[in-house]
Amino acid sequence: MTHAPDYRVRVSIDPGWPVALALVVLLGIAVGAHRLNGYGLEKPALVAAARSIAQLGVAALLITSVVEHLWLSVLLVVVMFALGVLTTSRRVDAPGSWPAAATAMAAGVVPVLVVVLATGTIPLEGIAIIPIAGIIVGNTMTAHTLVGRRAFSALRDEHPQYEAALSLGLLPAQAIREIVHRRAPEALLPGLDQVKTTGVVTLPGAFIGVMLGGGSPVQAATAQVLVLFGIMAAQTITVGVAERLVAARRLVSPDLRSALVD
């Protein structure tokens, strides 16, 4: 008689010398590859590694402290969102436009979280809300950064076209969108590629997390599909809203704020 596989065994990766050894070796490989290829990023790689350890350590302590309390879990998600907004504002060289960045990101994140909670897909508990919200916020931040950088680059490179459009009678917002709209979809391509290749080329974090937590492959696949659809929806909305905010000159870098005049 054939028995179904038992997926109840949890796989844990606990701190200890095997993990420490693996981390040191992997970091050594990364730094060595930078040096070998002449990229000159050895120090930034070391700094990034140190920051990741410190930040994840703090995150682990925070999540352990708040996960049993719904309001604290929601507060942690809000803090994560705020840090994402500040990060993407700096990455697009528009720190003063953080309210617009927050608007664009919230427009994508909030509907997704409302849907997954309202349908009962995930329970209204910190242990479920924190990881799902974290993944959605992180990917939305990435899409916002990509659309901002591409839009600002296009507006700098094609400033003569902007002035020509104004001379033909277009309003500033219309002239900006004529330039930006062609570049905006590029910010969505990495996310779409991730959706298309999941299960064939990659097994992303949600899938692996459920498997390591003792879930079955079917449960892992279900969780991953939910996350991917949420990411796709959130990113598309965020990019669309960000494009409109750029056209309205509410989301622009300081140099473009002075260049994109009537």
Residue 14's pLDDT is 67
CA distance 123 to 120: 6
DSSP string, 65-105: HHTT-HHHHHHHHHHHHHHHHHHHHHHTT-GGGHHHHHHHH
Q: What tokens does 100 get?
A: 């617009």
Report the DSSP beta bridge partners of residue 202: 198
Number of domains composing the chain: 2
Does some domain include residue 160?
yes
User: What secondary structure letter does DSSP report for 235?
Assistant: H
CA distance 67 to 55: 17
Does some domain include residue 142?
yes
> Domain check: are 172 and 252 in the same one?
yes
Q: Which residues 6+ apart lie within 8 Å of 154 measured at CB?
A: 179, 180, 182, 183
Does some domain include residue 6?
no
Q: What tokens does 187 get?
A: 């910010």
Q: What tokens does 182 get?
A: 């062609």
Full-model pTM: 0.81
> Domain check: are 218 and 203 in the same one?
yes
Per-residue pLDDT of the chain (262 residues; tens, 9 = 90+): 555 555 444 555 667 788 889 989 999 999 999 989 888 889 999 999 999 889 888 888 888 888 788 888 899 999 999 999 999 999 998 888 999 999 999 999 999 999 999 998 888 888 888 888 988 999 999 999 999 999 898 888 888 888 888 888 888 888 888 888 888 888 888 888 887 877 666 655 655 565 555 566 777 777 778 888 999 999 999 999 999 999 888 888 887 777 666 6
Residue 57 domain boundaries: 13-66
The residue from 66, 93, 110 where one domain ends is 66
Percent composition of the chain: helix, strand, coil (DSSP 3-state, to 5) = 75, 0, 25
- Determine the residue type at 249: R
Q: Which residue has the tokens 């974290």?
A: 134
Element housing 150 (H / E)? helix 126-157
